[in-house]
Structure 1
Amino acid sequence: MADYRIVIADDHPLFRDALKQALTALYRDIHIAEAGSLEEAVRLLDAAEEPYDLVLLDLKMPGVQGLSGLVFLRAQFPDMPVVVVSATEDAAVIRRALDLGASGFIPKSTPVDTIRSGIAAVLAGDIWVPGDMALAGRPDSEIDMLAARLATLTPQQARVLMMLREGLLNKQIAYELSVSEATVKAHVSAILQKLGVESRTQAVIAASRIDGEQWAS
């Protein structure tokens, strides 16, 4: 059995390969799975016979454009640590990622040795961000409150919300989840209540606000 089992979720093969090399140099016996989209990462995690120890999650790839992917993974797999690996170095984004349950945040500009140290710290049970990353600053209380509300969604509600963001109708969501339309409607009602909004459109806008506009990789 491998010492650690890790999923690298990033749509850039060269960056995935760089992370693999960093990890294999750190641990002699390690199992690394690669995913180029959020959907592919979820399939890997769902199908795993043994649980993974860590997911390294990019914030911009097919199926995710920002922190909504983190919200989704934390809802679906609440016991599994997720470290965000992103091109952004915005302190507000990093702080919000930690508030949403990330176990760490690694900017893509981070030197390899520091990446190794960060991943080792998270695998040891710590929360990690680069030591020179200043997280102080004026928080956006409205967005922070929204982040807290998103964190209360159940796994199925988080999945439904992401499908709403993709523009799917209730019957399409029902088909994708193999449930009835009535069940989807119940999930949508619960989502609206938890987010404190009155319509599907407002729910989608609220979920989009958590992502911001700074995603560039």
Structure 2
Amino acid sequence: MRLLIADDHELLRDTLGSFLQQQDGIDICTVGDLNAAIALLDKGEAFDLILLDYTMPGVNGLDGLKRLLERPGTPPAALISGNADMGVALQAMRLGAQGFLQKSIPARSLLNAIRFMVAGERFLPVDDVLSYLSGQGATVGLPTEASALSLTPRETQVLAALCDGQTNKEIARSLNLSEPTIKLHVKTLYRRLGATNRTQAAMIARNLGLN
């Protein structure tokens, strides 16, 4: 796994890079601004994921992310920030970001989120998103905003079966998958929806218009 960290704060860049570099199978490259990141990509450097700071010199809000993602052949990119709210996170996801990470996230959670995104999944701090959306008032807006969660086709199938009240064994049989695989999908859905059990997951899914 090869990661590119683009952040103008040298201390954070070095600290984050050092932590990730110590993990098995992770190679890190760091730059201090967006232009340097694009220059590396233009030279043919390959990365599995880019971690892009939300506020850097020469980057106006989400324009930097948009510029990066509009570049042909750009690898998946996730936004990282210490001050952006969940409204920004949802906008970033709609632009095509692979995820949104807060700089205050615990180190182990950060590592899990990165591996999650490199595996092709999209990541958002679901509890914070739901709290933000609740603070916006009308639940009518939830289905549109919740589309930023972007479940994979398989996760959508498992969630639909879960909402229908099927057991893991029944879901495995209907999707021609092993039961341990279904258990993993269900656990992932719990985390992404901020649920602690099947009933709560089904209720949240329906409230968010995901089923």
- Please report the TM-score for the alignment, with normalisation by the length of structure 1: 0.57
Cα displacement (A) at 1:79: 5.0
Match for residue 25 of structure 1 among 22, 40, 63: 22
Deviation at 1:29, TM superposition (A): 3.3
User: Secondary structure of 1:42's match?
Assistant: helix
Q: 1: distance between equivalents of 2:10 and 2:113? A: 21
What is the CA deviation profile of residues 115-140 of structure 1, one whole-angstrom value per residue up to 9, with x for unaligned ones? Answer: 1111010011110112422243559x
Cα deviations across residues 162-199 of structure 1 (Å, max 9, x unaligned)?
A: xxxxxxxxxxxxxxxxxxxxxxxxxxxxxxxxxxxxxx
Normalising by structure 2, we get a TM-score of 0.59
Decide whether the 8 Å contact of 1:10 with 1:58 is kept in 2. yes
Consecutive unaligned residues in structure 1, runs of 5 or more? 145-217
| The one of 38, 41, 48 aligned to 2:34 | 38
> In the aligned structure 2, how far is the partner of 1:31 from the partner of 1:48?
16
Per-residue deviation, 1:25: 3.3
Compared CA separation, residues 79 and 39, structure 1 to 2 (3 A): closer
1:124 aligns to what? Answer: 119
1:12 corresponds, among 9, 13, 29, to 9
CA distance in structure 1 between the aligned counterparts of 2:64 and 2:25, rounded to whole angstroms:
29
1:47 aligns with 2:7: no
Q: Which has the higher contact order (CA 8 A, sep 6+)?
A: 1
Does the aligned pair in 2 maintain the 1:5–1:52 contact within 8 Å? Answer: yes
Q: Is the 8 A contact 2:54 2:84 kept in 1?
A: no
Aligned to 1:100: 95
Decide which structure has greater helix share: 2
| Runs of 4+ with deviation above 6 angstroms | none
Per the TM alignment, residue 77 of structure 1 is displaced from its structure 2 partner at its CA by 3.9
Partner of 1:61: 56
Q: How does 1:1-217 map to 2 (within 5 A)?
A: 4-26=1-23, 28-49=24-45, 51-77=46-72, 79-135=74-130, 136=133, 138=136
In structure 1, the partner of 2:187 is: none
How far did residue 37 of structure 1 move? Answer: 0.8
Task: Tell me if the contact between 2:8 and 2:32 (Cα under 8 Å) persists in the aligned partners.
Answer: yes
- TM-align CA RMSD: 2.2
Deviations 1:40-68 (A, max 9, x none): 1110111135x211100001112213100
Q: What 5-or-longer segments of structure 2 have no aligned partner?
A: 145-211
Q: Is the contact between residue 9 and residue 36 of structure 1 (CA under 8 Å) also seen in structure 2?
A: yes
Deviation at residue 30 of structure 1 after TM alignment: 2.8
SS of aligned partner of 2:51: strand
| Rg comparison, structure with higher value | 2
Q: Percent identity?
A: 39
Cα distance between partner residues in 1 of 2:115 and 2:93: 17
